[in-house]
Amino acid sequence: MVLCAPIMKTTRSAKLFTEAQQLIPGGVNSPVRAFRSVGGQPRFIERAKGARLYDVDGNSYLDYVLSWGPMILGHAAPSVTSAIKKAAANGTSYGAPTELEVILARMIHQAMPSMEKVRLVSSGTEAVMSAIRVARGFTKRDTILKFEGCYHGHSDYLLAKAGSGLATLGIPDSLGVPADFAKHTLTVPYNDIRAVQQIVKEHRDRLACVILEPIAANMGVVPPAPEFLASLRRLTKENDILLIFDEVISGFRVAYGGAQTLYGITPDLTVLGKIIGGGLPVGAYGGRKEIMNLIAPVGPVYQAGTLSGNPLAVSAGIETLKQLKVRGVYKKLEEKSVALAKGIGDAAKKAGVPLTQTRIGSMLGAFFTSGPVVDWDTSKLSDTKRYGLFFHQMLEQGVYLAPSQFEAAFLSTVHSDRDIDYTIKATHSAFKTL
């Protein structure tokens, strides 16, 4: 079952990376793209279509990164690109309200009724930052509680024990974050409700909010333990602490209504991004009316953005959500994901490679460890060196995975059965070399 993939040319990518390092820190505009944790040099992408990426050297890859999640309809989906072109023809930014913003806000509210009012912004990081600001304004408290390995963007007070790129680079915190900021952020292990109970007992009068990824996707994919989210909801409600779901990745990915619909949990505030922009920069936060009504111009909590509600991003998001509402979309994604996960698991077992798999909908994780992965500490037990070898074996066979053990893999609606079969065959070949 060994695939005979041709040796890929990387001359142009290598040259561009050399040039980029002279002009851009590390040669990349987001750290994980640099391939530091897996070794080697990044491939520079020229174009993408459907389930494939094409680099500057003419190589083709089946893509399971999907721009880190938002391309759920695949790259350059015709209806989405058409919506973007139509919007661009009318102007790219107005700095004034549009009907499109109202349409997208309504669609988000209908999908997630907990978001009674919605504010659009330009990134997930901005959305999280703003949600925490209004949570502090509402409770008149300063301290927040987050979970180790959960990544909520790169704002100063959220870089304590974060996942994603920080996990990849082995950086527990970031230089440049004042100690005064960090002292307002408490951290506990993910899935550890007893630790949360202890923190609440000790800091109840200081805690403005608890923020988490309801499905942790920035330490790999780590699902919530049974009753963890429900217990967290009860605990926060009983102590007048706001619960914030960061659904930047899980929103519209694991279900149309996100993880909160999947698990039947109603947070006070929700943060979105990725999919609601259809591949363009966007974010949103929203929640209970009495909280959101504190935001300017109605209330005293200030937040603004020149490009918020950008017509191109909003148009792409509207069209993407329209397509996701079509009957059977998530059922088909589930079937494809089940098949891919089973195939990878069977390949690892056949090769005698220890592998712990996780999956929620079309988000998949695979850790090179034999033990269960339930939090940041157990995810770190994964053999990252072995993952790096696996990554490059797959890359050479034309399968593009995340250049980090601590990231999710994603499926799109346009990954075909043939694509999945090829990927499984590639894993058989890759595992034999480990």
Of residues 359 and 159, more confidence is placed in 359
Under the banding of pLDDT at 50, 70 and 90, the label for residue 156 is: low
Decide if pLDDT at 3 tops 60. no
Question: Which of 61, 64, 151, 285 is flagged as catalytic?
Answer: 151
> What pLDDT sits at residue 157?
58
> What pLDDT sits at residue 362?
98
Decide if pLDDT at 398 tops 50. yes
Is 15 a catalytic site residue? no
Is 246 a catalytic site residue? yes
Decide if pLDDT at 181 tops 70. no
**Who contacts 264 (Cβ-Cβ below 8 Å, separation ≥6)?**
none
Average pLDDT along the chain: 93
Euclidean distance between CA atoms 398 and 404, whole angstroms: 17
Let me know: does 247 contact 260? Beta carbons within 8 Å.
yes
Give per-residue pLDDT as tens, 26-81.
999 998 999 999 999 999 999 999 999 999 999 999 999 999 999 999 999 999 99
Of residues 83 and 2, more confidence is placed in 83
Euclidean distance between CA atoms 22 and 15, whole angstroms: 11
Q: Is the peptide bond before 223 cis (omega within 30 degrees of 0)?
A: no
**Who contacts 138 (Cβ-Cβ below 8 Å, separation ≥6)?**
208, 242, 290, 291, 294
CA angle 253, 257, 258 (to 5 degrees): 45
Helical segments of 303-360, H only: 311-324, 329-351
Is 336 a catalytic site residue? no
Domains of the chain, with CATH numbers?
11-64+327-431 (3.90.1150.10), 78-324 (3.40.640.10)
Question: Which of 55, 63, 246, 375 is flagged as catalytic?
Answer: 246
Pick from 416, 433, 432: nearest CA to 340 = 416
> What pLDDT sits at residue 151?
80
Give per-residue pLDDT as tens, 91-130.
999 999 999 999 999 999 999 999 999 999 999 999 999 9
In this structure, what token pair is assigned to residue 407? 């990231």
Give per-residue pLDDT as tens, 206-263.
999 999 999 999 899 999 999 999 999 999 999 999 999 999 999 999 999 999 999 9
Tell me what the mean pLDDT of segment 314-328 comes to: 98
Question: Which of 63, 190, 256, 274 is flagged as catalytic?
Answer: 274
